[in-house]
Amino acid sequence: MGSIDAAVLGSEKKSNPGKATILALGKAFPHQLVMQEYLVDGYFKTTKCDDPELKQKLTRLCKTTTVKTRYVVMSEEILKKYPELAIEGGSTVTQRLDICNDAVTEMAVEASRACIKNWGRSISDITHVVYVSSSEARLPGGDLYLAKGLGLSPDTHRVLLYFVGCSGGVAGLRVAKDIAENNPGSRVLLATSETTIIGFKPPSVDRPYDLVGVALFGDGAGAMIIGSDPDPICEKPLFELHTAIQNFLPETEKTIDGRLTEQGINFKLSRELPQIIEDNVENFCKKLIGKAGLAHKNYNQMFWAVHPGGPAILNRIEKRLNLSPEKLSPSRRALMDYGNASSNSIVYVLEYMWEESKKVRNMNEEENEWGLILAFGPGVTFEGIIARNLDV
């Protein structure tokens, strides 16, 4: 394969004028840390289920996910207050939303404060907010409660993205990029926040696919500050966001299916999802790279920040694109440490990528300046951004 045409996009480690950059990252988690090795016994004890076949299936799933630890909002205190959450068939959407609405706001505020601290500028310099969640439903939305919790100016412009699923973090980044590049001097806070309580249910033979979520998904929040033309005195950009695109695959809307019901959100993930992503990811990457104006490509000379939807998805992407194993290391680390945290995950992946970039630089090894940020969500929707590592 060819190499990146640096002449097209420049090779200086300064951001291009007018191009959006990620200026800071932040994250936050609930207090409950779940070790994967203890999850099965705890889950079946909590839900008072003694089905040996379901327990065996969940045990197998927990081993194949590669997840080691996760954070969750669910706790013994919550189940004592709301025991109906662990009972099959009850109308519990009101209770779930009461818990979720408060939890996602608390985590989003904490992640945003961490991000703003890393950024180093005043909170009053934030001009826009993009808020992403698939774990709440209310009017006004979580964007307003985040702004209120942070004490942002009433003049702050807000955008709300609800129920975008696992592609939400990159979708939010695409929207924040557009805002930053079309509003000179703006600084955009992107916050994502998710909890699985909205879909927590006892195991059921009628819903075997629920066990995939039990074995895979985690809770938490993420945040980024995005802006163009960084101030060289007080801002240190991490990544430049060069080109962003979104595509959906026709006739795949049932592949990731979620419905808000009286029992909370019911999710169905088709077994064909990893194959669908494998079959379409290369064409999507070619389209993205082409739109960015890259004359040539060598996937192994680029970095890859990929949403860790699960090991099967990562394995198939690695195989289809013939990537070296280390290329998806940040994604696999995020999956291992936090599970699939939906829209939050891309923040954790980018943070691990930045950490690994620093290690490589300290060892005087060559780094990849250009790369792709990818995520996949309901639709099936592909989100992608050509990015540039400015910290190399």
Beta strands 220-228 and 239-248 are: unpaired
Which residue, 171, 170, 376, is CA-closest to 278?
Answer: 376
- Residue 377: which region, alpha, beta or left (left: phi > 0; alpha: psi -120 to 50)? beta
Q: Which residues make Cβ contacts (< 8 Å) with residue 357, sequence separation at least 6?
A: 303, 367, 389, 391, 392
DSSP reduced 3-state for 387: strand
In total, the chain counts a number of residues equal to: 392
Q: Which two tokens stand for residue 170?
A: 């990159």
**Could you tell me where the DSSP H helices lie in the chain?**
6-9, 36-46, 52-64, 76-81, 93-119, 142-150, 168-182, 210-216, 273-291, 311-320, 329-338, 345-362
Q: Which two tokens stand for residue 330?
A: 């940040």
Contact at 8 Å (CB) between 301 and 4? yes
166 is catalytic: yes
DSSP reduced 3-state for 17: coil
Which residue, 248, 231, 206, is CA-closest to 24?
Answer: 231
- DSSP H or E stretch at residue 388: strand 381-389
Nearest-5° Cα angle at 176, 372 to 232: 85
Burial of 338 (0-12, 13-18, 19+ CB in 10 A): buried
Contact at 8 Å (CB) between 265 and 199? yes
Catalytic residue among 100, 115, 166, 285: 166
Contact at 8 Å (CB) between 307 and 375? yes
- Residue 293: which region, alpha, beta or left (left: phi > 0; alpha: psi -120 to 50)? left
Catalytic machinery residues: 166
